[in-house]
Structure 1
């Protein structure tokens, strides 16, 4: 029987308080205010913005290099308004790494350049933008997850928020509160990579687009002794710790002379689930280039998230009956530049223009909402993504052919890569401890032992992520019992060696053998990165929203 829920009506509901939806809500409110100052027929609109994090910015994680182009469009005085900028790019380098050696790319091509970019903490930027949204009298509800779409008359008519106060067996605890039904004329979905609401919505309104592809980014923020870097220094790397047939890379960004962001992006997916993104970062930090910078430093924050990397060809339709899709929910990431925040903001501004037009004409039809897609295709955001549309797929044949196709001139002292070469002389594919090919699924996986000084276990990294969940609540990772018995403990064991134990950066999945083989889940560890869902080779894991407020608590990332 359908549960009775309290219903609240809004004109516009934004799901997800990331840069896309925050920019959109702020811009929409400003457009309404500007109209009302100039018109005898003022508009009145109720706008709500919800986010599952326990405070604004809690779930926002990125490098992050911000191209200020979109920010300058809707807030040209962002510096005067106190935008939390850590530094401006002052120096950038691109390196090819071997296990103990490094080779500089002679120059950084324009299409890869970060000249003029800002180094920001995305969690701090999100918190600041949330303050600006509240100054615009936008209702912001944190600790609130969108657990399900509300479909009525063939359109998205709102969302259902998470129930609060259920125990592990889904029984009501004292103080139980059922989720709310938030009705809306338009819902704007900006949940980030692999959003659970967008996934449910796609079942009602198939997109017809190519499947999205993903990478997993794992990062740490370090406090280091002064004198190693200068503020704004940027390093990007390829090669070690990855094999030549695996897409991945690393970075180090200097927020200040004593605070740096270091991380790795690892290719992960159902066709290549044998990956350990956390291990890749730990090995990356052992390379002399990173080790010399981090020596005697202290890790102060850690986190992980998936990254949408399919580009323009994998983008879904940006609008549908009663909804718009913004930012990384729509796959707006330029992998060539490793940037997406500016594209997310731009999508939010275009969505705001469309929403304002709909309010002005009191027309929320699909035809009216489809103007959002038209605006996008006429924007610089579309031009940028179109120019980079083949970048990620170029690496499907291997790292070095991909770099050549991407236009990088690989000419290093003592090393040269010719057009028909697939590897560098003396730079053979690097075997990675903890990784294995499908045909070696029965072989033991070497254990990685963290030293607790420069490299850390997943459990130690979790401590520095601020992750927190209500322990006594239903498990939000759904796997059917029959799938555990027949796939996890039999088929996957033989074919892949249970890679969930490795690709999850939060140690959520454990295979135990005593007294009998079993899959043990640790959902309270979950970083909400969604790697399990996108890397599962059998598509048997479904990530659902836990009780709002759970998850990581990023502050510097």
Structure 2
């Protein structure tokens, strides 16, 4: 017998308190208030934002460089309102790295330039946007995850939220509460990359294009306090090359928030065909390069985090709307990998979603035909022009780094590509895999410049209720057959490498050999993406669990 769920009625429910949905909610409320100033029949919509983190911004992480252009569409006075900008972008550098050396790329194409942009902490930025939304009377419900859509007559009619107080065996503990039923005339899904609600909607409505392959990367980040005199506020560095092999896409960054505070990180392609890579390990090697080491040595690492990045671009974008729902931000694939930016696109999508929803509130029409105007707005927007122009950038690296640099228009002399690229794929049985594995096994973090995964996770503020069902689901038969036998021989159990939080451990002397540590999970979803067999299913844990970013 299912427990009785509390049912609440809203006009609009936003799933995810990221920049896209917060911008949408703020703009929608502004449109409603302007309408009511002159209307004889004022609008009084019920709007709610739900957020699975324990506070707004807790799960937000990015580099991040903000193109402020989207603010002109809904909050032109963002500076006067106290938007938390760390520094305007100053000196810019792009480097090709060898193991010890660096080669500066002398010419930067227009897309790589950042004049007029700002460095931001995304968690701080998101928390500020949330405060602006709440100041306008918008209800923000944190510690609450969307676990599934409510379907009525073939359309989304709301969402169901997570149950509270369920133990690891699925039994209700004293004080447990069933999740709520949030009914809505429209649901706006802005969960970031590969959200769990989006995946369910994709299965039901077929949102992903058949021809366009979605591509993902895993970004890992640290925030450091460093001695003064190493860099200047606003200085940025982007890198290609070391420590990645030529056939694997990725790169690093270092952004100076101030003379004594820097954001640095590394992005590694998350590919089921090349799963035996380790984003966290790559970041540690990146920090040992003289370019980075000379800036941060003697400092202290304050915060660590990880997330996946949706990088397939325009051709891999899902359908932006469906019966009863809209997709915003990175959930809609709105990331420009050529510019290494997505915040302005996320916010712009929120503005267009708000204008669509406002028209529906005025007309009372929330049919799929009415919501389709969101896609029409996108097709005539600057977003469409930007993303379409960059649609082939990321795919240009599918044949390796060197060809990708040429395709990107970066004028730099690089080594000739290897004659047999297949020989260097990081898979068991190949000499490059064995070389990589031996090097990784020999790596010992020093606790000052480099860190192990457990030390890093400790600095992420990650907390989960220990006695709850494991939110990383693998069927027992898959553990026994795939994890213990097939995956061990074919891929070397890559989950022990590709998870940036050490969630998965392999002990070949145990049966089953796989141990899962869900309390370490950073909610990045790399495991679902990089698992070569697709047997790992990530579901939201009890709301409030996960990282607690404040600086990232």
Question: What is the CA distance between 1:423 and its match in structure 2?
Answer: 6.6
The equivalent residue for 1:195 is: 195
**Cα distance between partner residues in 1 of 2:544 and 2:512:** 33
The equivalent residue for 1:512 is: 507
**Cα distance between partner residues in 2 of 1:515 and 1:499:** 17
Match of 2:317 among 293, 306, 315: 315
The equivalent residue for 2:12 is: 12
The equivalent residue for 1:26 is: 26
SS at match of 2:398: helix
Gaps of 5+ in 2: none
> In the alignment, does 2:477 pair up with 1:482?
yes
Match of 2:389 among 368, 380, 387: 387
**Cα distance between partner residues in 2 of 1:337 and 1:450:** 33
> In the alignment, does 2:429 pair up with 1:439?
yes
Aligned residues of 1:13 and 1:187 also touching (Cα < 8 A): yes
| CA deviations over 1:21-42 (Å, ceiling 9, x no partner) | 0000000000000000011111
Aligned residues of 1:91 and 1:234 also touching (Cα < 8 A): yes
Question: What is the CA distance between 1:440 and its match in structure 2?
Answer: 3.7
> In the alignment, does 2:461 pair up with 1:463?
no
| CA deviations over 1:67-110 (Å, ceiling 9, x no partner) | 00002321111111010000000110010110110111112221
The equivalent residue for 1:413 is: none
The equivalent residue for 1:274 is: 276
Aligned residues of 2:89 and 2:117 also touching (Cα < 8 A): yes
| CA deviations over 1:401-453 (Å, ceiling 9, x no partner) | 1110111111xxxxx359xx4379xxx99x99xx9424349956541211111
The equivalent residue for 2:80 is: 80
**Cα distance between partner residues in 2 of 1:158 and 1:373:** 21
The equivalent residue for 1:530 is: 525
Question: What is the CA distance between 1:2 and its match in structure 2?
Answer: 4.5
The equivalent residue for 2:62 is: 62
**Cα distance between partner residues in 2 of 1:475 and 1:263:** 29
**Cα distance between partner residues in 1 of 2:468 and 2:510:** 26
**Cα distance between partner residues in 1 of 2:544 and 2:277:** 29
> In the alignment, does 2:203 pair up with 1:206?
no
The equivalent residue for 2:250 is: 248
Question: What is the CA distance between 1:239 and its match in structure 2?
Answer: 0.7
The equivalent residue for 1:473 is: 468
> In the alignment, does 2:332 pair up with 1:337?
no
Aligned residues of 1:476 and 1:543 also touching (Cα < 8 A): yes
Question: What is the CA distance between 1:4 and its match in structure 2?
Answer: 2.6
Gaps of 5+ in 1: 411-415
The equivalent residue for 1:42 is: 42
| CA deviations over 1:43-90 (Å, ceiling 9, x no partner) | 110000000000000000000000000023211111110100000001
Give runs of ≥4 in structure 1 deviating > 4 Å.
441-445
| CA deviations over 1:106-151 (Å, ceiling 9, x no partner) | 1222111111111000000000000000011000000000011111
**Cα distance between partner residues in 2 of 1:423 and 1:227:** 40
The equivalent residue for 1:142 is: 142
**Cα distance between partner residues in 1 of 2:114 and 2:429:** 41
Question: What is the CA distance between 1:514 and its match in structure 2?
Answer: 3.6
Over 3 Å counting, the alpha-carbon distance change for 1:423 and 1:406 in structure 2 is farther
Question: What is the CA distance between 1:240 and its match in structure 2?
Answer: 0.6
Aligned residues of 1:10 and 1:183 also touching (Cα < 8 A): yes
* TM superposition score normalised by structure 2: 0.96
SS at match of 1:549: coil
The equivalent residue for 1:404 is: 406
Over 3 Å counting, the alpha-carbon distance change for 1:417 and 1:166 in structure 2 is closer
**Cα distance between partner residues in 2 of 1:199 and 1:423:** 38
Aligned residues of 1:417 and 1:423 also touching (Cα < 8 A): no
The equivalent residue for 2:262 is: 260
The equivalent residue for 2:71 is: 71
Q: Which moved more, 1:439-448 or 1:364-373?
A: 439-448
**Cα distance between partner residues in 1 of 2:110 and 2:417:** 24
Aligned residues of 1:7 and 1:182 also touching (Cα < 8 A): yes
SS at match of 1:451: coil
SS at match of 1:437: coil
Question: What is the CA distance between 1:254 and its match in structure 2?
Answer: 0.2
Aligned residues of 1:400 and 1:423 also touching (Cα < 8 A): no
**Cα distance between partner residues in 2 of 1:186 and 1:319:** 10
Aligned residues of 1:254 and 1:261 also touching (Cα < 8 A): yes
* TM superposition score normalised by structure 1: 0.95
